[in-house]
Structure 1
Amino acid sequence: MRYVVAVAEERSFTRAAERCFVVQSALSHQIKALERELGVTLFARTSRRVEPTAAGDAFLHAARASLEAAERAVADAAAATGRIRGTLTVGVIPTVTAIDIPAVLAGFHRDHPAVRIRLRGGGSDEFVAGIAEGSIDVAVLGLPDSSPPTGVATRELARERLVAVVSAEHRLAGRRRLRLPDLAGETFVDFPAGTPGRAPSDLAFQAAGIHREVAFEAMSIDLILGLIRHNLVIAFLAPAVVPADPDLRTIPVSGGPTRIEYLAWSDFNPAPAARALVERLPSPTPPR
């Protein structure tokens, strides 16, 4: 099964053999033997191209699940003796402010060096789905205060009011505080429509009955800040993700959006490594 997964992902018998630390002839022989046993062809092959057949695609799904189950069995057995091992997949949104992720993972790795750590970037909604299906172990989520996550175990890490971020050249750059109506007619950059990262700002404007023009959408904080520096747009962001920069200004906004950061993990039989990480992460901070 490991050989089949390697060939499917590498699209090459040669690279798959290197990845599995075996000679190519042995890997090819094992896959041919498996095909004979199953009575199906798992890969379409030419001298230059390899790709799974329909039967191969069907086999891959179950093979990956079987390998993950085998790895979990080994991890559970090790955990019973006090040792943590296996793979830990952590989902991280672009705007984490409640946790110093590198510091936490460095401490975790020192305590549990046998655990392989995989980081995944993305949005809160896909992380919740990933936890439910088993492809993500632990994730940091950012959601509006009106939409707590469901279907996963969670711990609230922090809640914060977002601030308006404008260019130093913007007409509002000298203001110490704003109201939401002051931003009517401004052009915004924000996360893509429909994503949890965008929801707090959309909900705040909807509740105030104010139309907001979002002309640019991006998932990269660096790109968002770059657009603001050029005075093309303004944005609502967590204060901690905005660097000290003479070209940027952050301004509190009365009635502005509020975001909650959550730690999320499976509420059904989490892996030992996931439990160990959750246990070392902080308790909620007081509301700000």
Structure 2
Amino acid sequence: MDLRQLEYFIAVAETGSFTRAAERVHITQSGVSAQVKALEHELGAELFVRSGRTARLTEAGSVALRHARAALDSTLDLRDAIDDVKGLIRGRLTIGMVIGCEITPLFDALAAFHEAHPGIDLELTEANSDHLVLGVRTGAIDVALAGLAGEPPEHLASQVIVSEPLVALTPAGSELAGRDRTTIAQLMPYRMICLPRGTGIRDVLDQAGTAVLGTRPEVALVATSPDAVAGLARRGLGVAVLSASMAAAHPDLVAVPIDGITIPALLALVWQERTSPALAAFLEHCRAAFTPGQEPVAVRP
């Protein structure tokens, strides 16, 4: 007994005809008939009542049909499982990361995945968050760790890693450093320093300013990394606007909470709903690295 015999048997049972079954499986009618006869001989029972051009299942044939279908389904499951294994032996995975930041748990996940699946080529690409999300949508990037404003993008799978407020970062001894809290409106007289548009932090600032003031806040200086933004503020060139975890990397500066911003700055993994075996395995390593309930992930410049 082989799988080909079962396939032909099922085709005859479903079409009710050796002729139509032959058309379905793309071989001659005599070939189908011979294989079914061989199966009947091996089982020791007739599977069909043959009458003219029709073929009707016998009682034995009805019982055999259920098992034949189950056998073929199991074969397909086996092939899918092998394909999954093969997908973890070789291939490529492209991971996006927001530019200018060091996300230690992501690097830990990359290292663990590479150790487990050394045959998968890894490519790491850095960009602003809007470009990362676009890359995931188009399939150019398999998964990205991106900064987002308020909520994950629609029609993509996601895992929020951090949700935190914005703060104003200023040198100790400045007028702003003497305040317990501030607001978007109170920051308007200051020269603000922030990340570029297309980053989660800047999107939160722009949306919050528009909601409160009816317009985007004016940003005097733009730098592509949190370290550079803080460094400019340290030298008295303005007030840096960053997330709380970014500000924590600069303890020599004073972080003043900004009240009235209802949109959180998110750090999230985003990917398409349909995943390859390699991506599914990498996401498991990410879930282990970004442990729920852990201390907030520091986004270090």
CA RMSD of aligned residues (A): 2.9
Alpha-carbon distance in 1 for matches of 2:115, 2:198: 39
1:180 aligns with 2:184: yes
Equivalent residue letter for 1:201: L
In structure 2, the residue matched to 1:152 is: 156
Alpha-carbon distance in 2 for matches of 1:284, 1:96: 21
| TM-superposed deviation, 1:139 | 0.4
Alpha-carbon distance in 2 for matches of 1:122, 1:197: 14
In structure 1, the residue matched to 2:148 is: 143
In structure 1, the residue matched to 2:268 is: 262
- Percent identical among aligned pairs is 34
Matched position secondary structure for 2:230: helix
| TM-superposed deviation, 1:214 | 0.7
| TM-superposed deviation, 1:179 | 3.1
Alpha-carbon distance in 2 for matches of 1:141, 1:160: 14
1:86 aligns with 2:56: no
| TM-superposed deviation, 1:276 | 0.9
Alpha-carbon distance in 1 for matches of 2:247, 2:235: 15
The structure-2 alpha-carbon separation of the partners of 1:96 and 1:272, relative to structure 1 and needing over 3 Å to count, comes to: farther
Residue ranges of structure 2 left out of the alignment (5+ in a row) = 1-80, 297-301
In structure 2, the residue matched to 1:23 is: none
Aligned residue pair count:
211
Alpha-carbon distance in 1 for matches of 2:283, 2:169: 33
Q: Is the 8 A contact 1:190 1:235 kept in 2?
A: yes
Matched position secondary structure for 2:152: coil
Matched position secondary structure for 2:279: helix
Residue ranges of structure 1 left out of the alignment (5+ in a row) = 1-75
| Correspondence 1:1-288 to 2 at 5 A | 79-80=84-85, 83-94=88-99, 100-145=105-150, 147-193=151-197, 195-209=199-213, 212-242=217-247, 244-245=249-250, 247-256=252-261, 258-268=264-274, 270-282=275-287
Higher helix share: 2
Alpha-carbon distance in 2 for matches of 1:230, 1:199: 25
| TM-superposed deviation, 1:253 | 1.9
TM-score by length of 1: 0.64
Alpha-carbon distance in 1 for matches of 2:235, 2:211: 30
Q: Is the 8 A contact 1:189 1:235 kept in 2?
A: yes
The structure-2 alpha-carbon separation of the partners of 1:244 and 1:148, relative to structure 1 and needing over 3 Å to count, comes to: closer
In structure 2, the residue matched to 1:20 is: none
| TM-superposed deviation, 1:239 | 2.1
The structure-2 alpha-carbon separation of the partners of 1:133 and 1:156, relative to structure 1 and needing over 3 Å to count, comes to: same
The structure-2 alpha-carbon separation of the partners of 1:285 and 1:158, relative to structure 1 and needing over 3 Å to count, comes to: farther
The structure-2 alpha-carbon separation of the partners of 1:99 and 1:150, relative to structure 1 and needing over 3 Å to count, comes to: farther
| TM-superposed deviation, 1:246 | 5.5
Q: Is the 8 A contact 1:96 1:140 kept in 2?
A: no
In structure 1, the residue matched to 2:299 is: none
